[in-house]
């Protein structure tokens, strides 16, 4: 059998499919054959690939250079018998490892959620008997019965259908249910257009059908998506990459300086090796930014809370920073950029074109013609078109407990109900005055629906359907006044073309006075003699806030690309309305819409180029979404990808940041994503990008603030070794400086408000190092100033007769108060401290007050003297410490002013 090898079931006739699968539509498979095929193909479930064990995942969290440095610091401080400090440093490492482990463990749940989504029941014919079985027991060749409300249990080739409509949005991205049939299709038919197939996990919204199972488990389309999810790489974020590179460099620098210091002290200066070992320990501890991992974690966590208030729920902490680096946002159309509510926007009746305002399912809006408002009661043809759409309709709108509207039935028919309600027409009231007598449901081969109604003393027939099927049955039309007139097919088709070019789906409406005694409708009754009423054009309209958000993203240098399974014309129309492309179809640097078929023919190199210059991708298959994300990443972009369906999960996981819909998204998409949108709104992404940029800014501010201290401490130790002086600060004192200032001073920068103009900057360059040359220069400047102040004051104190402990206390306070004053400089890396104000971050002032209190305890409390080797100092020493700290701050402000002046002069 070719059951597993055959991929083009849609290109085979129903007879050929039955022969290949050795089955019968009437009888199904017998029990023995089912058992044989179960052994051959396995259960109809997705099997999760075995991954790393929890123990290995946890240990891998320690496999990074910065953690190596911190673990070394733990060992060093333990050798010094400073158990509290060792415990604190190791505690930081442990907390970070736990957080990383929890994040990674959640990421692999995507496949588990996908597995659960497949388990359901199925109705089958087996041995000429109708049975209900677990979907896991299905095998290729089983005959499955489908009806409204069923979840399709496996991939099926449809053998017969009756008004079948299937919601495939989770798989293909199609915004409305797909009408199915059983006829043969061309071999190159795209997945979203295979109307003779029903795919696993899609939902039957209307009708009944019989199909034969052609694929189960991992061989289904959803199974292939499962494989794509498993194969997609989990990427490091720009920040984690930069911190890794920075940590590796720092590791080598510390080891190199430590080795040089030890060799110079022992071999050149003849110092005792034990003294040099203690100096090396002090140097290593001083150069290690112990507070950096905690600062990164806490700053990101604060960003999570800020984003949650703006409807963006972060599942993985690094996603906060990645958003600030995003250069491209790939967005799904339906429900993200659009309302996910079909809405009538244009109507044509009596030879006049009407615009309908309002969006969504709320009955709020009015009708205009040529810019002027009209009363529907004064436009008979328009009113009759609305009445026809309301009565020839099997759908309804239901108001939920919280006031929201939901659809029962076809969303397209629901749009007709809403349009009629905007004119004051109610479905229930019309049903009483025009009770339905008979109906011909929509059938794909006829392309129309017809209903017969009582109307006063007579009867009236209403018909709605495709333009071709309705116009071919009409020879008259209603005029604006409600009188009949000759039908102008040319005018109708021209109007249809104009409406369709805007991406609207067009339905035509007709009526006929029923003067027959029969109360039963037949297709032969509708061949001719109808009166054309009008047209209604509808679309899933864009969210108004999405339009503004796209413009914000463009101003911020972020490209927005639409990737959808919907039709190219519809996608292009929405893209024009939200500003992705202009009326001409393009914006500078972009080409027009690219569809899935053209995409499939591109080589990898050509795809990278096409992904760069194309704004809208339509009729895109799941694996193509993944290819597009990979192509954009190959072009150097940091990619944010939105999605809600099962089909989006592989691309969500591959993207630098996957964004799932929190309301309409499937569990599979949510588990694969880094972030959820609580309101399914694209505008929340723009808000989250702004928060992400603010978080990144604050992280860079912290690093720019903390590194000069580490540099200064290291330089002080080197200066002491090379000049033969005693150590100005001890290792335990260095730990005191680093840990207390990081918590009480540095972490306060995490609460720094966003600077103005944040979204007017270009995206962060992924290739740009964490620290620019400008910031490195500033770090070195401050580091050398701290060296001069601490070493100079240490030497001065000894010359003035201070004890060694008091001199060291002076040096420690130089570092602490120097950092304190420098902290205000770091509130903005470019602007003056006075420009941004002193009181914009009140927590920073609280931290400064607490730090001053701690330093007073460090200096004057006897218990601290015993623990840290400190000693009381006098007022003269304090005045020199504060003057030095103030001078340091003024020098930095001067350096910033010079850079601003140079930037203005060259611009």
Annotated catalytic sites, by residue?
332
Q: What is the DSSP letter of 351?
A: T
Q: If residue 896 lies in a helix (H) or strand (E), which one and from where to where?
A: helix 875-906
The C-alpha atoms of residue 574 and residue 570 are separated, in whole angstroms, by: 6
Q: If residue 886 lies in a helix (H) or strand (E), which one and from where to where?
A: helix 875-906
User: First and final CA of the chain: distance in angstroms?
Assistant: 72
Q: What is the DSSP letter of 771?
A: S
Strands (E), 614-691: 616-618, 639-643, 657-661, 675-677
Instruction: State the angle between helix axes of 292-308 and 238-263 in degrees (0 to 180), rounded to the nearest 10.
Output: 160
The C-alpha atoms of residue 436 and residue 461 are separated, in whole angstroms, by: 10
Those residues with Cβ within 8 angstroms of residue 271's Cβ, 6 or more apart along the chain or in another chain: 265, 721, 724
Give how far Cα 421 sits from Cα of 380, 393, 463, 538, 853, Å: 16, 14, 19, 15, 69
Q: What radius of gyration, in Å, describes the C-alpha atoms of the chain?
A: 36
766 and 238 Cβ atoms separated by less than 8 Å: yes
Q: Which residues of 143-161 are buried (b: 16+ CB within 10 A; e: fewer)?
A: bbebeeebbbbbbbbbbeb
The C-alpha atoms of residue 160 and residue 166 are separated, in whole angstroms, by: 14
SS3 of residue 687 by DSSP: helix
Burial classification of residue 529, based on how many CB atoms lie within 10 Å of its CB (0-12 exposed, 13-18 middle, 19 or more buried):
middle
Residue 613 neighbours by CB distance under 10 Å: 12
Q: Of 459, 497, 458, 482, nearest to 531 (Cα)?
A: 482
Q: Which residues of 293-324 are buried (b: 16+ CB within 10 A; e: fewer)?
A: bbbbbbbbbbbbebbeebbbbbbbbbbbbbbb
Which value, to the nearest 10 degrees, does the dihedral of the CA atoms of residues 136, 141, 142, 146 take?
100
The C-alpha atoms of residue 456 and residue 460 are separated, in whole angstroms, by: 10
Q: Residue 397: beta bridge partners? A: 407
Q: Residue 533: beta bridge partners? A: none
- Dihedrals φ, ψ of 324, to 5°? -65, -20
The C-alpha atoms of residue 103 and residue 99 are separated, in whole angstroms, by: 6
Q: If residue 462 lies in a helix (H) or strand (E), which one and from where to where?
A: strand 458-465
Of the CA atoms within 13 Å of residue 693, those in its CB half-sphere come to: 23
Instruction: Transcribe 81-142 into DSSP letters.
Output: T-HHHHHHHHHHHHHHHHHHHHHHHHHTHHHHHHHHHH--EEEEEETTEEEEEEGGG--TT-
């Amino acid at each position: 059998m070719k059951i597993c090898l055959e991929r083009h079931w849609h290109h085979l006739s129903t007879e050929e499919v039955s022969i290949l699968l050795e089955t019968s539509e009437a009888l199904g498979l017998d029990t023995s054959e089912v058992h044989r095929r179960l052994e051959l193909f396995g259960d109809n479930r997705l099997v999760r690939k075995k991954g790393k064990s929890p123990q290995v995942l946890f240990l891998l969290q320690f496999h990074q250079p910065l953690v190596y440095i911190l673990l070394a610091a733990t060992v060093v401080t333990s050798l010094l018998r400073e158990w509290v400090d060792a415990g604190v440093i190791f505690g930081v490492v442990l907390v970070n490892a736990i957080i990383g482990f929890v994040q990674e463990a959640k990421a692999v749940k995507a496949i588990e959620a996908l597995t659960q989504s497949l388990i359901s029941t199925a109705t089958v014919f087996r041995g000429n008997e109708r049975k209900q079985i677990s979907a896991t027991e299905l095998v290729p060749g089983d005959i499955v019965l489908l009806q409204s409300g069923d979840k399709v249990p496996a991939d099926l080739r449809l053998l017969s259908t009756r008004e079948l409509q299937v919601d495939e949005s989770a798989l293909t991205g199609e915004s409305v249910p797909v009408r199915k049939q059983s006829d043969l299709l061309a071999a190159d038919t795209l997945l979203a257009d295979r109307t003779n197939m029903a795919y696993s996990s899609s939902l039957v919204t209307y009708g009944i059908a019989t199909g034969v199972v052609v694929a189960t488990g991992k061989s289904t389309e959803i199974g292939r998506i499962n494989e794509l999810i498993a194969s997609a790489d989990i990427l490091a974020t720009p920040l984690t990459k930069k911190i890794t590179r920075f940590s590796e460099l720092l590791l080598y620098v510390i080891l190199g300086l430590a080795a040089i210091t030890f060799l110079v002290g022992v071999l050149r200066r003849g110092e005792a090796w034990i003294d040099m070992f203690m100096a090396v320990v002090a140097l290593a501890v001083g150069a290690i930014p112990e507070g950096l991992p905690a600062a990164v974690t806490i700053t990101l966590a604060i960003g999570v809370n800020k984003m949650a208030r703006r409807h963006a729920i972060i599942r993985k902490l690094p996603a906060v920073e990645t958003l600030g680096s995003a250069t491209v946002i790939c967005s799904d159309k339906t429900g993200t950029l659009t309302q996910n509510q079909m809405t009538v926007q244009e109507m044509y009746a009596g030879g006049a074109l009407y615009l309908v305002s309002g969006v969504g399912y709320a009955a709020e809006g009015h009708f205009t013609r040529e810019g002027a408002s009209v009363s529907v009661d004064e436009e008979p043809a328009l009113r009759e078109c609305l009445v026809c759409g309301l009565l020839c309709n099997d759908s309804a709108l239901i108001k939920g407990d919280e006031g929201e509207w939901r659809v029962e039935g076809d969303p397209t028919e629901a749009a007709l109900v809403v349009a009629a309600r905007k004119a004051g027409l109610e479905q229930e009231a019309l049903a009483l005055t025009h009770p339905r007598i008979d109906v011909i449901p929509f059938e794909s081969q006829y392309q129309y629906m017809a209903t017969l109604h009582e109307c006063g003393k007579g009867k009236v027939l209403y018909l709605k359907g495709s333009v071709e099927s309705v116009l071919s049955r009409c020879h008259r039309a209603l005029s604006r006044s409600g009188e009949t007139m000759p039908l102008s097919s040319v005018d109708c088709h021209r109007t249809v073309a104009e409406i369709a070019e805007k991406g609207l789906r067009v339905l035509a409406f007709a009526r006929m006075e029923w003067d027959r005694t029969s109360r039963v409708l037949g297709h032969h009754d509708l061949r001719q003699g109808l009166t054309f009423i009008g047209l209604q054009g509808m679309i899933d309209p864009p969210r108004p806030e999405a339009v503004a958000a796209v413009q914000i993203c463009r101003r911020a240098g972020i490209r927005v690309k639409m990737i959808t399974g919907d039709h190219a014309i519809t996608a292009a129309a929405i893209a024009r309305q939200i500003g992705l492309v202009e009326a001409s179809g393009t914006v500078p640097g972009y080409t027009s819409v690219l569809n899935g078929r053209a995409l499939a023919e591109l080589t990898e190199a050509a795809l990278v180029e096409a992904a760069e210059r194309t704004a809208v991708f339509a009729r895109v298959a799941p694996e193509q979404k993944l290819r597009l994300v990979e192509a954009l990443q190959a072009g150097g972009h940091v990619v944010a990808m939105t999605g809600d369906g099962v089909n989006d999960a592989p691309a969500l996981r591959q993207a630098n940041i996957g964004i799932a819909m929190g309301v309409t998204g499937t569990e599979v998409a949510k588990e694969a994503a880094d972030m959820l949108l609580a309101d399914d709104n694209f505008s929340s992404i723009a808000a989250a990008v702004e928060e992400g940029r603010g978080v990144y800014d604050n992280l860079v501010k912290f690093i720019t603030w903390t590194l000069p201290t580490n540099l200064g401490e290291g330089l002080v130790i080197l200066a002491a070794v090379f000049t033969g002086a005693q150590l100005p600060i001890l290792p335990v004192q260095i730990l005191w400086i680093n840990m207390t200032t990081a918590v009480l001073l540095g972490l306060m920068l995490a609460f720094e408000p966003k600077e103005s103009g944040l979204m007017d900057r270009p995206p962060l360059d992924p290739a740009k190092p964490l620290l620019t040359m400008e910031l490195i220069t500033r770090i070195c400047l401050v580091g050398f100033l701290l060296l001069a102040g601490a070493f100079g004051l240490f030497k001065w104190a000894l010359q003035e007769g201070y004890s060694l402990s008091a001199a060291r206390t002076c040096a420690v306070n130089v570092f602490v108060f120097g950092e304190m004053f420098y902290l205000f400089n770091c509130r903005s890396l470019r602007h003056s401290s006075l420009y941004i104000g002193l009181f914009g971050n009140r927590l920073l002032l609280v931290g400064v007050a607490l730090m001053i209190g701690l330093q007073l305890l460090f200096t004057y409390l006897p218990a601290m003297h015993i623990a840290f080797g400190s000693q009381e100092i006098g007022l003269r020493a304090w005045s020199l410490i504060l003057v030095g700290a103030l001078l340091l701050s003024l020098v930095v402000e001067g350096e910033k002013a010079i850079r601003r002046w140079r930037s203005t002069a060259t611009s």
